[in-house]
Amino acid sequence: MSILNRLMKKGKSRFFVHIPKTAGTSFRKALEQNSNVISDYSAADPQTSKVFHQTLYKNQDKYAFALRLKKMRNTVISGHMPLAKYSPFVGIENCVVFLREPSERYISHYKHIVRTEYPNLSIQEFLADANNTDLMSRLITLEGLYSIGCIGLTERYNDSLALISKLWGEVLPRLTENCAVNFRPLKSEEDLSLFSEQIATANKRDYALYHVACKLFENSMFFRQKGVLDRRAFAQLNARRGVIQGWGFLIGSQDVLEINLDINGKQVAVKKCFKFRPVLKGKGFPREGCVSFDFKHTLCPGDQVSIKDVETGRVLFEGCV
């Protein structure tokens, strides 16, 4: 992917990971006010823009797509696609996503399907289809969540717009699209509360992801209020591996991030995140992938690891082996 990185280096393209029923349609419409939005919602979806059919779907030619994207100006890719598909083209810090409380998102998705496609679909049938569950965590992994340029929360939509406006340097209007306020109520709407436990169980991974997203969102709000750059960090936690590998970076800066590494509440190292990792460069990480660190230490099951920002003392990452 190094050739793609060089091709896209001078471009100002961005990627919106559009997770269904997270206020994504409203956000996409807001983007269309000032940006050239191109959409990828699968090869079969009529919303998908021609450039994707002509390059990625017809010939699977990523290089040709990168060339086309480079020639576009002020472009935002939008679609129900995983973060990893387009972050190499636009850079991970130029990507954004909205997440929503998992059960609320799931129920909203179910209601939307009933109203627009299958009026007789029961909640039991919807639950039985694995394609409907844990949708957020299928489009963005935990490491992807830690690395993405900005996380928006449906429940904090106005604050989310402010964060994204700061990241992208443009004011985004607040629009409301694709909401069900004028639709007739479902016949069985009052019965959905009876399935709350099943819905939560079916979306366990989404709940874990959303829990982290809320913490990262508060970090972004903190950094914005402090008037400092947002920052990201992550560590891979493997017991008995003998080394802790991770990464960290400042969003919108080529400066090196300095972090404190804590294990079980005790600081064990101060690290600067500047080592090169080819896999990070391929994912579109800043500084050409030179954002990594490692620390020789054998972790044991149950160890608690955290990464703190040296400048502000803010916890950027927490994990348990």
Environment class of residue 93 by beta-carbon count within 10 Å: exposed (0-12), middle (13-18) or buried (19+)?
buried
Please give the Cα distance from 245 to 228 (Å, whole number): 26
- Write the CATH number for 164: 3.40.50
Identity of residue 244? I
* DSSP reduced 3-state for 162: helix
- State whether 167 and 88 are in the same domain: yes
What kind and span of H or E run contains 202? helix 196-202
* DSSP reduced 3-state for 199: helix
Domain that holds residue 186: 2-226
- State whether 106 and 206 are in the same domain: yes
Rounding to the nearest 10 degrees, give the CA dihedral for residues 148, 154, 159, 164: 30
Please give the Cα distance from 3 to 224 (Å, whole number): 34
Query: Mean of the per-residue pLDDT values for the chain?
Result: 90
Specify the pLDDT at position 219: 98
CA 88 to chain centre: 14
- State whether 209 and 238 are in the same domain: no
- State whether 171 and 295 are in the same domain: no
Q: Kindly give the interhelix angle for 62-71 and 83-90, rounded to the nearest 10 degrees.
A: 50
In the DSSP assignment, the letter for residue 273 is E
Specify the pLDDT at position 189: 53
Identity of residue 217? F
- pTM reported for the whole predicted model: 0.89
Residue pLDDT, tens place only, 286-301: 999 999 999 998 888 8
- State whether 161 and 28 are in the same domain: yes
- State whether 96 and 176 are in the same domain: yes
Question: Please, are residues 277 and 288 in contact by the beta-carbon 8 Å criterion?
Answer: no
Identity of residue 131? N
Residue pLDDT, tens place only, 22-51: 988 888 888 888 889 999 999 999 999 999
Beta-carbon contacts of 104 under 8 Å, excluding residues fewer than 6 positions away, are: 154
Residue pLDDT, tens place only, 250-284: 999 999 999 999 999 999 999 999 999 999 999 99
Beta-carbon contacts of 13 under 8 Å, excluding residues fewer than 6 positions away, are: 69, 72, 75, 76, 77, 89, 90, 94
Question: Between 186 and 265, where is the model more confident?
Answer: 265
Residue 59, pLDDT > 70, answer yes
